[in-house]
Amino acid sequence: MTEEQGYTPPKVWTWDRESGGRFASINRPVAGPTHDKPLPVGRHPFQLYSLATPNGVKVTVMFEELLAAGHDAEYDAWLIDIGEGDQFGSGFVEINPNSKIPAMVDRSGPEPVRVFESGAILLHLAETFGAFLGQPEDRPELLSWLMWQMGSAPYLGGGFGHFYAYAPYPMEYPINRFAMEAKRQLDVLNRHLEGRDWMVGDDITIADMAICPWYGRLVMGEAYDAGEFLSVHEYTHVIRWAERFFARPAVQRGKMVNRTFGPLEEQLHERHDASDFETRTQDKLSEAE
């Protein structure tokens, strides 16, 4: 009998700090801050507090695409190290009571406005600048795909990704359950993208920016080391779309912001100016030490 087959849930659940696998230390069953830590504030109208997970990349790609399109969307991107518990600092909890990245403060108006949840940030920025929303007649379709991503990706990341790559030991039932769902979602996208360059309309929108950092990374072999396991080569339309998305210069810059893993030349822990991509990546900072 395996450990998973022999588990009987207790009548009342209690928190075991030692369980939960690789990321157990960043999870807890209560909300609120654990320590006092104010957030830094830069000089730009938009202050982003994030990490280059797929949800964080959505927003930094949006900012870089806005700037590339000529919008006055300068921003400061501050690193939130979830492994160190930065998301539980008092300043971060004040702008996101859910203690998840990304979170943003829009200081472009008379009073600062907090925005949390990546989909909400994308929509807020798109409406603020009137950009990447597609044609007016496309709005219902765009919002449908944006909400599809927000509802579906937790099954990919917190479901398949967790049990396949991060759980304390392999468990057949949840891996099979969430692999099936991940492949179903990829098939949804593959069918939709047949004959299309972008998710909605004829150009990139926030629907692409929301979905591709999750599913595009997966089919490009950049997520969970699971490409062969999920036979991602089958999803040819998703691969074609992801290649187009990740080839965009603004997307390549957005992927670097708040990144703390991978090659040093692709890591820009904080972004405060466009020149930072040339002067403040981790390889440059390491050379200067």
Read off the pLDDT of residues 105-132 as tens digits, 9 standing for 90 and up.
Answer: 999 999 999 999 999 999 999 999 999 9
Q: Band the pLDDT of 7: cuts 50, 70, 90.
A: confident
State the average pLDDT over residues 136-148.
98
Q: Does domain 136-252 sit in CATH 1.10.1670.40?
A: no
Predicted pLDDT at 1: 36
Q: What is the overall mean pLDDT for the chain?
A: 95
Predicted pLDDT at 63: 98
The pLDDT > 90 percentage for the chain reads 91
Q: What is the pLDDT of residues 61-105, one digit of tens each?
A: 999 999 999 999 999 999 999 999 999 999 999 999 999 999 999
Residue 76 CA to residue 44 CA, distance in Å, equals 6
For residue 181, pLDDT over 90 is answered with yes
Asked if 80 and 60 count as a contact pair (C-beta separation under 8 A), the reply is no
CB atoms within 10 A of CB 13: 8
Residue 149 CA to residue 166 CA, distance in Å, equals 22
By residue count, the chain amounts to 289
